[in-house]
Amino acid sequence: MDPKLFLSASRVFIVAGKGGVGKSTVAATLVTAARRVGLTSLLVETDGKPLLVGGAGDRGLTACTITPAEALAEYLDSSGLGRISRRLVTSGIVDVVASASPGIDHLLVLGKVKQLERGRAADVIVVDGPAAGHALTMLRTPRALADSVVVGPIKQQANDVLGMLNDETRCQVVLVTIPEPTPVNEAVETAFSLEENIGVRLAPVVVNRVDVHPPIDIPDVLAQDSAAVRAARFRNDRIAGHARCLDDLSRRLPLPRIQLPLDTHATLADRTDQLLGAIENLEGGAP
Amino acid sequence: MTRTHLDQTLANSRVVVVAGSGGVGKTTLSAALAVRAAIGGRRVAVVTIDPAKRLADALGIAGQTAIGNEPVRIPLDDAHGELWALMLDTRSTFDALVDRYSPNADQAQRIRSNLFYKNISGALSGTQEYMAAEKLYDLNGDERFDLVIVDTPPTRQALDFLSAPARLRRFIDHPVYRIVIAPSSVGLRAVSAVSQPVLRAIAKVVGAQALDDALAFFRAFQGLDAGFRQRAHDVDRVLHEPSTAYIIVTSGQAEPVAEATYFVDALESANVAVSLVVANRLMPYFGGGDISLPAPLAGNLRELADERRAEESNLEVLRTARPDTPWIRVPLVPELVDERLDTFASLRLLGRALGDAD
Ligand SMILES: Nc1ncnc2c1ncn2[C@@H]1O[C@H](COP(=O)(O)OP(=O)(O)OP(=O)(O)O)[C@@H](O)[C@H]1O
Ligand SMILES: [Mg+2]
């Protein structure tokens, strides 16, 4: 499908996946891809981690970071509690008492994302979410709070965020995984849980680092314990393993798939080409 | 030196904490280290804070032995030592603490049925970390074990558990906490406490109902705080003892390496030295090929060597940042990726790889 159509199908894409699957790289690639097709884009980092190797700043991307503490301070400010808020936050007491409403920090971060979205901070806002298990907790929070808190600003905030999460033109989740059994299992579980419990729309799942090499023919005449043969076996194992996992994924998860190749030397520009190519290969009109 | 650095760490530590970012192999390595130490003659308890069932899988006992909050013995026929495993249950650990420090069953009951308590004693971050430290302290004092290996969850919070006892102490000592609990001694109800400006502000954020529950909890908690404070102090001491070793695990990918660098820095600023960095799941070295090789095989050798080079250059970031930290490199074991082998056999494979790697 047309990449521009694809990327403007939703204003926010929350990228979720386990550390090491390339979640941050995929997020940065989405941001660049959006720019490539003429859309303005913003990268949002959520857990205050150090900007990674070749971080957003280095790559000339527009980026911002949201941490729960800052989101909380800002929220307190906007509730007219500016003076007292700093003391509350630095004393750590809010941390403890906020435990009474578990997940309030997550809600505040999502609230801030929603604010960026409402304010049309960019055509496409890409959120580099927390690691998979945590992403789930984070995204479940608004529903839980909307159900359990009866009145007040938290209820309001939770409902507003839910409004964003449940509207596919405003927000979609991009799950990133790699073609190995454990990450695939986790992606499948996360996907079902997201759809069932939160009702958030899932964008095509990104399978990163796929070995797309054809199997290597190993002639019998070669010494079977030579380096070349061992390496070829290793590679063939990996190729077969990836194919099995992709198979497994498509059987268990009825979502379109974007595959990105395992490519050690790819630059951000290369990855952007690869992503745009994969999007073009997706079937259908608007997702 | 006859022993590798890894084996020295396993032989000389009473506690080994394994941390690192998601999916790098912390759980698998914790299990492999535990097996290795048990074979070497130590009585080991491996505890996972990760609620996922991965430890049972890694130990190959899924479906046979349930791993719960109490240690279970895992049979190992060729071990000189013993292997035990358990999975942290935050709630029951917290319950046990409340029971221990409550002057009477009635107060314990009042705390346990409080809504705020139910919330914080679940799997909430913060509490979970503190309970992990707590469990570790308990196991450390348990006569049955001489080594405790802790498998941490894949988040930044893995480090929060280092500071959790101190945070708890700071909280109990906090003037606001005094305000919060003060009224009960003169018989006032929560409503009056909420009229304090600070509490009004909090109520505005978390909701009045939540705050009321919290206040009721802190009142019920009174009298327990001295015990908790002392306990937090003791737990903190164990975390900083020289016999507690920290092992950071990473893969060769850029993101986990950046995370590992962050972990090492964060530990250092908490005055804790990292004993060992394990670079796990690295592309194996196959060696060179000769010029007569068919092109696809030669090309493959080159590409795999390239992948390893890319990993090494990612790892270089951490290496230059921390030139003095000891390292081992562990190759990717294909049987482990696919979870093909019987897991115990693969743990031994990994254990061997660990031993050879130093
Ligand atoms: N040296 C290795 N070679 C190949 N595969 C490995 C190796 N070490 C671990 N694995 C595999 O990597 C996957 C992730 O391992 P594991 O669950 O131990 O990681 P973790 O760091 O505990 O993950 P999480 O962050 O989710 O807790 C598992 O499938 C495991 O079998
Ligand atoms: Mg684990």
**For range B203-215, the mean pLDDT:** 70
- Return the residue whose CA atom lies nearest to atom 8 of ligand 1: B25
**DSSP-derived 3-state class of residue A92:** coil
- Binned at pLDDT 50, 70 and 90, residue B131 comes out as confident
Residue B188 covered by a domain: yes
B28 inside domain:
yes
- Go through B16-53 and write b for each residue having 16 or more CB atoms within 10 A of its CB, e for each that does not: bbbbbbbbbbbbbbbbbbbbbbbbbebbbbbbbbbeee
- Percent of chain B past pLDDT 70, that is, above it, reads 75
pLDDT of residue B184: 46
Which residue of chain A is at minimal alpha-carbon distance from B217? A100
Distance CA A244, CA A248 (A): 6
pLDDT digits (tens, 9 = 90+) for B283-323: 999 988 777 889 999 999 999 999 999 999 999 989 998 88
B239 lies in some domain: no
* Integer angstrom CA distances of residue A248 from A187, A243, A244, A245, A253: 12, 9, 6, 5, 8
- Residue B195 forms part of a structural domain: yes
Instruction: Among A18, A182, A186, A248, name the best residue to mutate to test ligand 1's pocket (greatest count of ligand atoms within 8 A of Cβ).
Output: A182
Q: In this structure, how many other beta carbons lie within 10 angstroms of the beta carbon of residue A214?
A: 8
- The answer to whether residue A137 sits within a structural domain is yes
Regarding whether B288 and B150 lie in a shared domain, the answer is yes
- Structural domain harbouring A35: 3-214+255-280
Q: B58 and B14 in one domain? A: yes
Residue B357 has pLDDT above 60, yes or no: no
* Residue B37 · residue B84 · CB < 8 Å: no
Q: Which long-range contacts (CB under 8 A, 24 or more apart) does A86-90 make?
A: A87/B198, A88/B198, A88/B201, A88/B202
Contacts by B317-320, CB closer than 8 A, 24 or more apart: B317/A53, B317/B257, B317/B258, B317/B261, B318/B250, B318/B257, B318/B260, B318/B261, B318/B264, B318/B277
User: Distances from the Cα of B18 to the Cαs of A21, A131, B46, B296, B325, in angstroms?
Assistant: 20, 18, 10, 40, 15
Please name which ligand lies nearest the alpha carbon of B59. Answer: 1
Residues B190 and B295 in one domain: no
pLDDT (average), residues B336-354:
67
**Which residues from A are below 8 Å from B334, CB to CB?**
234, 237-238, 241
Per-residue pLDDT reduced to its tens digit, B233-291: 888 888 889 999 999 999 998 888 988 888 888 888 888 889 999 999 999 999 887 77
Residue of higher predicted confidence among B110 and B187: B110
* pLDDT given for residue A87 in this prediction: 64
pLDDT higher than threshold 70 for residue A12: yes
The mean per-residue pLDDT over the stretch A24-33 comes to 92
Q: Are residue B284 and residue B145 in the same domain, yes or no?
A: yes
- Among A236, A131, A232, A233, smallest CA distance to A187 is for A131
Residue type, B164: A
Angle between helices A23-36 and B254-269 (to 10 degrees): 120
Contact A20 B24 (CB under 8 A): yes
* Ligand 1 contacts CB of residue B341 (under 6 A): no
Q: Give the pLDDT confidence score for residue A101 in this predicted structure.
A: 59
Q: What is the pLDDT of residues B69-112, one digit of tens each?
A: 889 898 887 778 999 999 888 788 888 888 888 888 888 888 88
Hey, which residues does B282 pair with through a beta bridge?
B331
Residues B143 and B262 in one domain: yes
Q: Is A41 helix (H, G, I), strand (E, B) or coil?
A: strand
Q: Is B237 helix (H, G, I), strand (E, B) or coil?
A: helix
Measured between CA atoms, the residue of chain A closest to residue B317 is A53
B259 lies in the same domain as B140? yes
**Helix segments in A93-226, DSSP class H:** 93-98, 104-118, 132-148, 153-165, 181-193
Q: Which amino acid is at A139?
A: L
Output the six-digit token pair for B77. Answer: 């026929």
The CATH number given to whatever domain includes residue A67 is: 3.40.50.300
Burial of B143 (0-12, 13-18, 19+ CB in 10 A): exposed
Closest Cα to residue B277, out of B257, B293, B297, B294?
B257
pLDDT at A142: 85
Contacts with B55 (C-beta within 8 Å, 6 or more apart), sequence order: B27, B30, B31, B46, B48, B67, B85, B87, B151
Q: What is the average pLDDT across B202-230?
A: 72
Q: Does B237 map to a domain?
A: no
Indicate which atom in ligand 1 lies nearest the CA of residue B153.
Answer: 27
Give the residue whose CA is nearest to atom 23 of ligand 1.
Answer: B23
Residue B245's beta-bridge partner residues? B16
In this structure, the answer to whether residues B350 and B202 fall within a common structural domain is: no
pLDDT of residue A147: 76
Residue B282's H or E segment, with its range, is strand B274-282
**Alpha-helical segments (H) within A8-131:** 23-36, 68-78, 82-91, 93-98, 104-118
Check whether A242 has a pLDDT greater than 50.
Answer: yes
Tell me how far the alpha carbon of residue A109 lies from the centroid of ligand 1, in angstroms.
Answer: 30
- A225 within some domain: no
Task: Compute φ and ψ for A12, nearest 5 degrees.
Answer: -120, 130
For residue A228, report the distance from its CA to the centre of ligand 1, in Å: 27
Task: Name which of A78, A97, A222 to mutate to probe chain B: the one with the most chain B Cβ atoms within 10 A of its Cβ.
Answer: A97
Which tokens belong to B196? 């304090």
B286, B307, B341, best to mutate vs chain A, most A CBs in 10 Å: B286
- Which position has the token pair 């909307």? A146
> Strand A171-177 relative to strand A205-210: parallel, antiparallel, unpaired?
parallel
Taking the centre of ligand 1 as the mean of its atom positions, its distance from the CA of residue B23, in whole angstroms, is: 5
Query: What are A256-285's pLDDT values in tens digits?
Result: 999 999 988 888 999 999 999 999 999 764
Which residues are CB-neighbours of B352 under 8 A, at least 6 positions away? none
In-domain check, residue B213: yes
Are B158 and B177 contained in the same domain? no
pLDDT at B358 > cutoff 50 = no
Confidence of residue A54 (pLDDT cuts 50, 70, 90): very low
Locate B214 and state its tokens.
Answer: 């919290």
For ligand 1, whether the C-beta of B284 sits within 6 Å is no
Burial of A132 (0-12, 13-18, 19+ CB in 10 A): buried
CA distances to A274, A275, B71, B251, B297 from A207, rounded to whole Å, are 12, 11, 38, 19, 26
Tell me: do B219 and B278 sit in the same domain.
Answer: no
B27 pocket-lining for ligand 1 (C-beta < 6 Å)? yes
For residue B35, give the CATH number of its domain: 3.40.50.300
Q: Is the CB of B252 within 6 Å of ligand 1?
A: no
Residue A143 confidence (pLDDT): 83
Number of domains in chain B: 2
Measured between CB atoms, does A154 come within 8 Å of chain B? yes
H or E element that contains B86? strand B82-87
Q: Do residue B184 and residue B252 come from a single domain?
A: no
pLDDT given for residue A90 in this prediction: 63
Residue B343 lies in a domain: yes
The CA distance from A81 to A70, in Å, is 14
- Output the CA–CA distances (angstroms, integers) from residue A100 to A103, A199, B228, in the order listed: 9, 25, 20
In a domain, B238, yes or no: no
Count of alpha carbons within 13 angstroms of residue B21, beta-carbon side = 27
Count the domains in chain A.
1
List the one residue out of A264, A77, A71 whose CA is nearest residue B312.
A264
Residue B139 sits in the same domain as residue B35: yes
Q: Which residue has the higher pLDDT, B44 or B215?
A: B44
- State the angle between helix axes of A268-281 and A23-36 in degrees (0 to 180), rounded to the nearest 10: 80
- Residue B329 Cβ contacting ligand 1 at under 6 Å: no
B164, pLDDT greater than 50: yes
Q: Which of the four pLDDT bands, split at 50, 70 and 90, describes residue A149?
A: low
Do B214 and A100 meet the contact criterion of CB atoms below 8 Å apart?
yes
Chain center to CA of B163: 13
pLDDT of res. A45: 83
Instruction: Give the CA count within 13 Å in the CB-facing half-sphere of B124.
Output: 24
**pLDDT tens digits, A64-102:** 777 776 777 777 677 666 666 666 666 665 665 555 556
Give me the pLDDT at residue B254, please: 86
Tell me the residue range of the domain where B194 lies.
98-131+167-231
In this prediction, does ipTM exceed 0.85?
Answer: no
Residues linked to residue B15 through DSSP beta bridges, in sequence order: B148, B244
Can you tell me the mean pLDDT for A145-156?
A: 72
Residue A169 host element (H or E): none
Among B196, B231, B266, the domain boundary falls at: B231
Average predicted confidence (pLDDT) for chain B? 80
Integer Cα distance of B14 and B138 in angstroms: 12
Residue at A249 is within a domain? no
Q: How far is A286 from chain B (nearest CA, A)?
A: 32
Q: Is residue A224 part of a domain?
A: no
* Same-domain check for residues B27 and B123: no
pLDDT above 60: residue A119: yes
The pLDDT assigned to B335 comes to 79
Structure confidence at residue A55 as a pLDDT band (50, 70, 90): very low
